[in-house]
Each structure stands twice: as structure tokens, then as C-alpha cells.
A and B are shown apart, each in its own frame.
Chain A
């Protein structure tokens, strides 16, 4: 039966996914792959929201609503980020994050 899956297992999965995303964010050099890592992080958060909504407060909608909002924000973020990436590529002919450190003091 599905209900026998403990919530903690789901949360552990999402945690691992989250830190895989963090790891990717820290080690990747390419801006697009960094963006992908961010998507992973957001996704893990969504799983959390949904799972908690499902298992702790099944009569309410907050978790669901928030994950929908997160998806919307992620979409906006991805759109802007990709626009920026394309612009950077145009200027530096590279989207390697280490090459784009002009803003340092």
C-alpha cells in the first residue's frame, strides 16, 4: 500500500536531489549547466512541498499552490537567465563562469 511509504524517505530523496543540485552549482563551469543545477534544486523543493501537502495536510492546498508558483517563478527565471546567457555569450564569446568575472572590485 502506498501509504506505507514513510514521509521521511521522500524527504530524504528530495534532500539528496537538492544537494546534488548544489554540488552541480558549485562545480559546473558552464552557465547553462549551472542553470540546470538550479532547476534541480527548485524541483527538489517542489517535491518537498507536494509531499508535505499530501501527507500532513491533505485537506489543504498551500503546498500545491506554492509549487505552482515556484514553477512559474522558475519559468520566468529561466527565461531571463537564458536571455542574459545569450547576451554574455555575445559579448565574451564564452559562457564559462570563470571568464565572466568583470564585476570584481
Chain B
């Protein structure tokens, strides 16, 4: 059952990703992106990473998407349709991406991954919380704090940049 679900999700994920980058209407592209992000969250649910899945939903599907949609609405007419893209550019970019993908897939296939024999214990939010706030082995307090500062700086920075300069 889970296998079927995975391949279904994966297929949809790729489909929506392609639609995201190829749609000629920006709002649709945003919606397709939202779909692919939600599908990613679904994958996490599938793997029992409940906390990660909820973060994905809240931050990505919630926060970032809202930002993107806002900016789209601020800068575009909803009915605006992009000009068709340059054919030469598409060909070259597609070729490049294809070469890159083939190379990476070749590497992945030629590498023997040793799947762990351990039974996957479900990770509780408590473990994650302790991980964030402890130091030493499996402690992430320093990156946690750094990220906090970064977020704060980004918030203030975003406000300063976007603020209308009065002349």
C-alpha cells in the first residue's frame, strides 16, 4: 500500500514540479508549487516524520507560499500571461539539466547504499526539542541560536528593504 502511495506521490511531485517551472501564468505556477510542497509533506508523513511534515506544511506551504502569493499579487495582474520563452534558451537549459540529472543518477546508482538493519524508532517531538536545546552529543543549540539570529536579521532586513523610501 505504502509503495503504491510513494510512487503515486513521487509521480505527482515531479509532475507538479514541471508544471511549476513551465506554467505561463504566475498564479498557477504558485499553486503548482504549493501542490508539490504539500506532496513533499505527504512523503514525510509516509515516513513517520510527523514533526518534519508539520513544519513543512506550516512554513513552506503556509508561510512561504503566502509570501509568494502576496508578492505575485503586488506585482502582477492576475491574468498576465508570460511571453513564450526563447526556444534556444529552453533547449540549452534542458540539455544542461538533463546532463546534470543523468550524471547524478549515475552516481546514485553506482553507489551501494547500506540500508540500516535497525528498526526505525519513531522520532518524537520531544527528542527534537531536546536536540535543539542541548549541547554536546546530538546537541544543536549553536546552530539553533544562529538560525534564530538569522531569522531576526532577515525579518528586519526585509522590512528595511521593502519599506518605501521617502524622499
Contacts and interface: CB of A to CB of B under 8 A. Distances in A.
Nearest to A28: B21
Interface in A40-86: 40, 43, 46-47, 50-51, 54-61, 64-65, 67-69, 71-80, 82-86
Given A20-B17, A32-B72, A76 B151 contact: yes
B78 interface: no
B44 to A, nearest CB: 6
Interface of A: 1-5, 7-13, 15-24, 26-30, 32-33, 35-37, 39-40, 43, 46-47, 50-51, 54-61, 64-65, 67-69, 71-80, 82-87, 89-90, 95
> Of B10, B105, B132, which is in contact with the most chain A CB atoms at under 10 Å from its CB?
B10
Given A27-B90, A60-B138, A79-B154, 10 more contacts: A15-B104, A17-B13, A22-B93, A39-B33, A61-B127, A78-B67, A78-B68, A79-B155, A80-B161, A85-B71
